[in-house]
Structure 1
Amino acid sequence: MSTTAGSGRVAVVAECARDAAVLVAAETAGGSGIGVICLRDDGKEGRAALDRALADASGRGCRVAGPPRFVTGEREAAIAGVVKELLALRPRRIRVPDPDPTHQDWDMEAGRPVYDEPDERAAAALVALRAAREYQVESSAPVLVDCRRTEPPTAHGAAVSCPRYPAVTGWLTEGFDGRSSAFLPSAAGVLRWTQQRRHGTAWDGPELLPGPRLMPGLRVVRDFSGLPHLFALRRTARKGGGDDIEIVHAAQYRTGHPLTPWHSLGSPNAGDAYKSRETGFPAAGFDAAGGLVVFARNFGHSVSFREQRPEGGWSPWRHLSGVRVADELVTVTTHKGEVELLARVRDSAAVVRWHRPAPDGEWAEDRTVPIAPRAGSMAAGPEPGTVVYRDLGTGEPWLWYLGSTAPVPLGGAAGEGPVTGVRGVEADGWSYSLLVRPDAGGACAVGAFAEGRPDAGVWWNSLAGAEPYGVPAAVLDRTGMVTVATLTGEAQLTVVNRESRTGGFEFGPWYTA
């Protein structure tokens, strides 16, 4: 999850003060209380860099929870020390480094990848993630984790960070009984909120769902029946030392009931102590025939996929040749029910598209996609065959129909991260597509345009009263009711219902679940 707005208590856990300074700079939410925990004292210069970052954060309206805390010792002692400090700080959000950085080269003599950052940084992230899990279990409260990649210093000399895992979209779903469920990742696993009755404002949760040792990311995909399927990354220890990363999948068939067991799909580079750790975050899509395709970036920075046809089992992992991509994949289902893949090109704002004429056909690569998105902003659009993204230069949302010559601007450049929504919303006898996104000043914005006609203009309205952390979500139930939900910086679910099923786009008050 990326922080866009919303105050709350946040802890930064890093290997040293200099690394902590980069993570502190990522906190843009005014009113946040920031505590810093370091596993090593890197001296006067590191502490000075952290002091400057904390001073800048104070200038943005953040509150600093005392001087940085330094925890020393071997792994188990360090984990216990971080847990102790977290219990003292009581954060609801924890920001840590990237536990599985991307390699930059390969050392042929040593037989291992070459990274442009120290091994200690990733080791510190693993200590922080283990401590965050234990802290959540001990405190019995939801804890959100934001893993951050550390990018090289910019031309101005400052390093920046960006999310390791994609923002969660489509996390609000409706079940067969008309009640909705919300799924979001936490330090200790997947959290679920369940609506007590259809159209109601009372929800049960958050419930920590049983499951394996998951990394703090989640992909929620609905099949053609509307059932939610969850995809995540699981870390498992190797017998010879180190860890493997594999893709896992579970589904919810009845609202409020247990998930199916988590099923391992392996990874494109399974069994390799180094390559497995760089498994990209999965993207998945269902086609009209009921087939499921799962994609992931592999160690070589290309795309691999595995699929399950309705009449059979899973195929082995296969590789798509072509341009090298970043760990940012989005699936889009067309009007014909075909699954297509969009991926941001590595080290570039360009996007490449893969499509095929039939489920048993060969994938074709298209490098003529006419969009340039900001990193982390792409998401499937509300209508079939569409993708919504933020323009690289302006941050304004745009919508592109697959195969069209040019995208369409949607207006409303405030906020950051993906813009999502639903289609088929009735209003005054017309069918509309509805969009949701974070707005400026810590609000949630709702937009609407005539279905199929975004070029005719988008009407945006800010729904004050809730401060979103991450990406808001919307669901249209089978009776035509629209519910919008967001998570606050204190990890509380807040929801608002449209006042009319067929009238205007007015919404009632926000309710805390």
Structure 2
Amino acid sequence: MGRAQVREAMRRPGTSASAPPAATMLVAACPEDVRLLMSPELRSAPLVVVCLTAGDDRSREALRQGLAQWSGGGRWREERAARRAGLALPGIWLGLDGPARCEAWLLDAARGDEKAAVAALAAVCRETGPVLVRTHDPDPAHTAADEPEERGKAARLALEAARTYQRNSGNPTLVECVWAGHREAAGSSAGQRYPLPNNWLARGGDGRLSAYLPTAAGIVRWHESRPGSQEWVGPSLLSGPRLMPALTLVHGPGGYVHLIGLRRTKRKDGGADVAIVHATQYQTGRALAAWHSMGGPNAGDWRKARQMGVPSGALDAQGALHVFVRNVGHSISTLRQQANGALSAWEHLRGLRVSDEIKAATAPDGTIEVYARTRDAAAVVHWRQAGDSWQEDAQLPLSPIAGTLSVDAAGGWSGSAVARFDNSPGHEYCVWQSADHARSVGPGGVSLGVSAGRGGTSSVAGVFIGGWNSTVLARAGADGTPLVGAYPDGRPDSGIWWQPLGARSLVPPATATDASGRAVVAGMGTDGRLMIARQKPDADGLQFTPFEAVRDADRSER
């Protein structure tokens, strides 16, 4: 396969319902670092590799061997000083003629000229049309041995190039930033610096659904043209500050949605400030309220501030928004925004050191619960709101597998929030509520059977299935295909049977109920388009319409 054929195979597809996968781009500091960004599910799409330095013979050989093993063999073609679309990209071009479509660019553009590096990366984006860019951690919070600064620089240049490409093309472009030092497999939610949310589908006060996802250029939104329609408006890039590819959604009363992100701004001294920012979506399809800064727990030292984790949040019974984040010392910091917008000072919750896996939710009684996976063991710490203070539980008898913890209030059997996770070492999918601390449900909570899939879970309760109100769950399968299951509300002990929706999603599936009370599952297809499956009315059991791309609404309806 020559360059022309590779280029044509990798272009971003159009709007055909049967469009093939768009390309995935890996951006690494050097050839040997590419192995840190690879994972098995990438075989389903064309792969573009860009290294900001060509490296030495040993580094290039490590790249060739890694890609050959990943692709199942093939013959490499190599050209120097390769050119595309009239743009010279100095370095080495590698093309693979084999079972998997792959090409690699080994550039010399990064040495001392960041603008040239961004231009070269953007040029490759224009030619190959990636729907997903995977790179390193742009703000390493780890030791130099695990995350040398060259990787952080490569990630920041990749983000800038992806932003430029998305703004010029209009194509939503996802970005995954992988912490190479993580013990879990690269590409899993556990190893990502900015894990994607699993509650990114919301129903507004007018009954229309909206979807929100973080991309290279900012947050993109889709919304139904009318309640229950397969025609959607979007993707629309929401106005706002330059955000990192992180997003937290907090669903409020009346269909309000609070959006919480991370803003990164350059400093005159060459550093960078990272702050938590917040905006609210009050009406479906309308503009967001103004973004404002919440600062951060280590705002006095920008070197520490840029290392904080991704925030989580929840609303209490009085309408106050509580935000929680892992600080540089790996404890939890929290801030409260009153309904009138007034911000409290940051408060540090003491206790065991935690990972970036912090999940907050509002319990049925209006109090807030926080679950966090510990940093140094497969364990969980738990905090519950007690008036104006926080009460910590003793360490819970839970051992969640990294990247699988989810917390919400759907489908429980007591007045507390529900935690769901894959339990270690038994690899069972489990449900736990803090009330279980006083109940005998066995170590690890209630088991719903052997784990199926990976990552966190999205859930929605009160779905009518076969005469019962039920909780519908969705999570990613091993290859990214959403898996959907259900159990009667309050009865997880009845077990669960998972069914695949039939098409792969690049993002964790999200669930909601539409204006008719039907369960809806959303994802993003491998061509970058929003996909929806909707519960079939009056079906025998839980059945869905085909999981397929939504139609674009006529502009007259917008």
Give matches, 1:3-402, under 5 Å.
7-23=21-37, 25-59=38-72, 63-72=100-109, 73=111, 74-104=113-143, 116-151=146-181, 162-310=191-339, 313-358=342-387, 360=388, 362-381=389-408, 382-383=410-411, 385-393=417-425, 395-402=427-434
Equivalent residue number for residue 488 of structure 1: 525
Name the Cα RMSD after superposition.
2.3
Q: Which residue is 1:453 aligned to?
A: 491
Residues 7/375 of structure 1: CA separation in 2 closer, same or farther (3 Å cut):
farther
2:468 maps to 430
- CA distance in 1 between counterparts of 2:44 and 2:332 reads 41
User: Retained in 2: the 8 A contact 1:166–1:328?
Assistant: no
Instruction: Letter of the 1:498 partner, please give it.
Output: Q
- Deviation, structure 1 residue 268: 0.7
- Is the 8 Å Cα contact of residues 486 and 494 (structure 1) preserved in structure 2? yes
Shift of 1:395: 4.3
Deviation at 1:55, TM superposition (A): 1.6
SS at match of 1:126: helix
Tell me the SS of whatever aligns to 1:373.
coil
**Secondary structure at the counterpart of residue 404 of structure 1:** helix
- Check conservation: 1:93, 1:490, Cα contact below 8 A: no
| 1:474 counterpart residue number | 511
Q: CA shift at 1:478, angstroms?
A: 4.7
The 1:224–1:486 alpha-carbon spacing in structure 2 relative to 1, beyond 3 Å, is same
Q: Distance in 2 between matches of 1:395 and 1:54?
A: 31
Q: Distance in 2 between matches of 1:77 and 1:386?
A: 49
Deviations 1:44-101 (A, max 9, x none): 2211221222123213997243243324241111111111122222211111100111
Q: CA deviation at 1:165?
A: 1.1
- Measured against aligned partners, the alpha-carbon deviations of 1:344-381 in whole angstroms (never above 9, x if no partner) come to 111221111112322x1x22222421211121211124
2:26 aligned partner, one-letter code: V
Q: How many residues align?
A: 492
Per the TM alignment, residue 438 of structure 1 is displaced from its structure 2 partner at its CA by 2.0
In 2, Cα distance between the equivalents of 1:478 and 1:310?
27
C-alpha displacement of 1:482 = 1.7
Please tell me whether Structure 1 or Structure 2 has the larger radius of gyration of its CA atoms: 2
% identity of equivalent residues: 40
In structure 1, distance between residues paired with 2:62 and 2:186: 11
Please say which of residues 418-427 and 219-228 is displaced more in the overlay.
219-228
For the structure 1 residues 481 and 221, does the alpha-carbon distance in structure 2 shift closer, same or farther, using more than 3 Å as the test? Answer: same
Greater mean deviation of Cα atoms: 247-256 or 85-94: 85-94
> Is the 1:482–1:501 Cα contact (8 Å) retained in structure 2?
no
Question: 1:504 — aligned with what?
Answer: 541
Cα distance in structure 2, aligned partners of 1:274 and 1:182: 34
- Please tell me the residue identity of whatever aligns with 2:523: T
Question: Which deviates the most, 81-90 or 380-389?
Answer: 380-389
Per-residue displacement from partner, 1:183-223 (whole Å, max 9, x unpaired)?
00111000101111111111111111111110011111101
> 1:446, 1:171 → 2: CA distance?
16
Q: Deviations over 1:488-512 (max 9, x none)?
A: 2222111011111686311122331
SS at match of 1:79: helix
8 Å contact from structure 1 (residues 29, 62) kept in 2: no
Letter in 1 for 2:142: H
Q: Give the 3-state SS of the residue equivalent to 1:505 in structure 2.
A: coil
Amino acid at match of 2:462: G
CA distance in 1, matches of 2:183, 2:335: 37
- AA in 2 matched with 1:391: N
Q: 1:116 to 1:461 in 2, by over 3 A?
A: closer
Q: Distance in 2 between matches of 1:395 and 1:92?
A: 32
* TM-score, length basis structure 1: 0.91
2 CA distance for matches of 1:233 and 1:70?
30
Aligned mates of 2:452, 2:506 — CA distance in 1:
14
Residues 429 and 502 in structure 1, CA contact (< 8 A), matched pair in contact too: no
SS in 2 for 1:251: strand
Larger RCO (CA under 8 A, 6+ residues apart): 1
SS in structure 1 of the partner of residue 155 of structure 2: helix
Contact 2:204 2:254 in 1 (8 A): no
* Closer/same/farther in 2, CA of residues 266 and 440 from structure 1, 3 Å limit: closer
DSSP 3-state at the match of 2:141: coil
Q: Secondary structure at the match of 1:122?
A: helix
Alpha carbons 1:224, 1:288 under 8 Å: kept: no
Is the contact made by 2:146 and 2:180 (CA closer than 8 Å) also made in structure 1? no
Paired AA for residue 420 in structure 1? S
Q: Which moved more, 1:322-331 or 1:59-68?
A: 59-68
Separation of aligned partners in 2, 1:417 and 1:47: 33
Distance 1:417 1:48, change over 3 A: same
Residue identity in the other structure for 2:390 = W
Q: Write out per-residue CA displacement over residues 291-342 of structure 1, whole angstroms, 9 at most, x where no aligned residue.
A: 1100111111111110023366110111111111111110022221111111
Classify 1:312/1:274 alpha carbon distance in 2 versus 1 (closer, same or farther; 3 Å). Answer: closer
Question: CA 1:311 to 1:76, structure 2 compared with 1: closer, same or farther past 3 Å?
Answer: closer
CA 290–507 in structure 1, closer or farther in 2 if over 3 Å, else same = same
Evaluate the alpha carbon distance shift between residue 189 and residue 244 of structure 1 in structure 2; reply closer, same or farther with a 3 A threshold.
same
Residue pair 2:252, 2:258 contacting (<8 A) in 1 also: yes
Give unpaired runs (5+ residues) of structure 1.
1-5, 105-113
User: Is the contact made by 2:256 and 2:280 (CA closer than 8 Å) also made in structure 1?
Assistant: yes
Amino acid of the structure 2 residue aligned with 1:377? T
Letter in 2 for 1:436: A
**Aligned AA for 1:94?**
V
Give the TM-score of the pair, scaled to structure 2.
Answer: 0.84
Where does the alignment leave 5 or more consecutive residues of structure 2 unmatched?
Answer: 1-19, 74-97, 438-442, 551-558
